[in-house]
Amino acid sequence: MDTTWQISPILERYFGGASYLLVTALACGLLAGWVLGILFTRIPTWRRVVLASLRIVTILLLMVAMLRPERVYTELQKQSATLAILIDQSRSMTLDDSLQGVSRWQLLRDSLEKCRQALAGLARDVDLRCYAFDEATVAVTQEDGRLALADRPAGEQSAYGRAMREVLRREDGKRLIGFILAGDGAQQTPGIDTDLPENAARQLAQQNCPLYTVSFGGRQRASQARDVIVESMPDDLAVFAKNRLTVTGTMRASGYVHRDLPLQLIVLDEAGNEKIVATESYRPARDGEQIRYQLGYVPQQPGEYKLIVRAVAQEGEATTSNNELPTYLTVLAGGLRVLYLQGELRREQRFLRRALASSPDIDVTLLTLHTRNRDRWPTDVSRYFEPGAFDVYILGDLDSAAFRPGQVGGEPPADLELLARTVQQGAGLLALGGWHAFRPGGYHKTPLAQVMPVPMDARVDRFVRQNFGEKIDTTLHWQGPLQMLPAEPWGTRHYLMQLAARPDNMAAWRKLPPLTGANKFRGVRDGAEVLAEDQHGHPLLVAGQPGGRVLAFAGDSTWRWVMQGESDAHRRFWRQAILWLARKDEVGEGSVWIRLDSRRYLPGQRVTFATGARSPAGDPLPRANLTATIVHPDGSQRPLRLVRQGEHFRGAATDCTQTGSYTVQVVARDEGQELGQHQSRFMVYLTDRELSGVTADPTLLQNLAAQTGEYGGRALTPEELPALLEELSQKPLQLEEKVKLTVTYWDRGYLLLLLVGVLSTEWFLRKKWKLV
The DSSP code sequence of 414-456 is PHHHHHHHHHHTT-EEEE--STTSTTTTTGGGSGGGGT-SS--
**Per this entry, what is the length of the chain?**
772
Q: Three-class SS of residue 602?
A: coil
> Is the per-residue pLDDT at 532 higher than 90?
yes
Q: For residue 482, with 0-12 CB atoms within 10 Å meaning exposed, 13-18 middle and 19 or more buried, which class applies? A: buried
> Is the per-residue pLDDT at 757 higher than 80?
yes
pLDDT digits (tens, 9 = 90+) for 425-445: 999 999 999 999 999 998 988
CA gap 715, 702 in Å, rounded = 5
Instruction: Report the candidate in 553, 531, 555 with the shortest Cα–Cα distance to residue 479.
Output: 555
CA gap 158, 701 in Å, rounded = 13
> Is the per-residue pLDDT at 407 higher than 90?
no
Average pLDDT over residues 87-107: 80
Sign, CA dihedral 478-484-485-487, equals positive
pLDDT digits (tens, 9 = 90+) for 28-69: 777 777 666 666 667 777 877 787 788 788 878 877 777 777
**pLDDT band with cut points at 50, 70 and 90 for residue 193:** very low
For the ranges 24-38, 105-119, 278-292, 503-517, which has the lowest average pLDDT? 24-38
Largest CA distance in the chain: 150
pLDDT at 429: 96
CA gap 647, 356 in Å, rounded = 18
CA gap 235, 597 in Å, rounded = 9
Average pLDDT, the chain: 84
Average pLDDT over residues 511-525: 93
CA gap 533, 482 in Å, rounded = 9
**pLDDT band with cut points at 50, 70 and 90 for residue 630:** very high
Average pLDDT over residues 588-600: 76
Q: Which residue has the higher pLDDT, 374 or 332?
A: 374
Average pLDDT over residues 206-220: 83
Q: What percent of the chain has pLDDT over 70?
A: 89
Q: Is the peptide bond before 481 cis (omega within 30 degrees of 0)?
A: yes
Which one-letter DSSP state was computed for residue 503? G
pLDDT digits (tens, 9 = 90+) for 148-192: 998 888 877 788 888 999 999 999 888 888 999 999 887 765 444
CA gap 123, 144 in Å, rounded = 8
pLDDT at 713: 93
Strands 648-653 and 607-614: antiparallel
Contacts of 265 (CB under 8 A, 6+ apart): 247, 276, 277, 278, 279, 295, 297, 307, 308, 309
pLDDT digits (tens, 9 = 90+) for 243-283: 788 899 899 888 888 999 999 999 987 777 899 999 999 99
Helices 116-125, 721-729: inter-axial angle, 10-degree rounding: 20
Which one-letter DSSP state was computed for residue 158? B
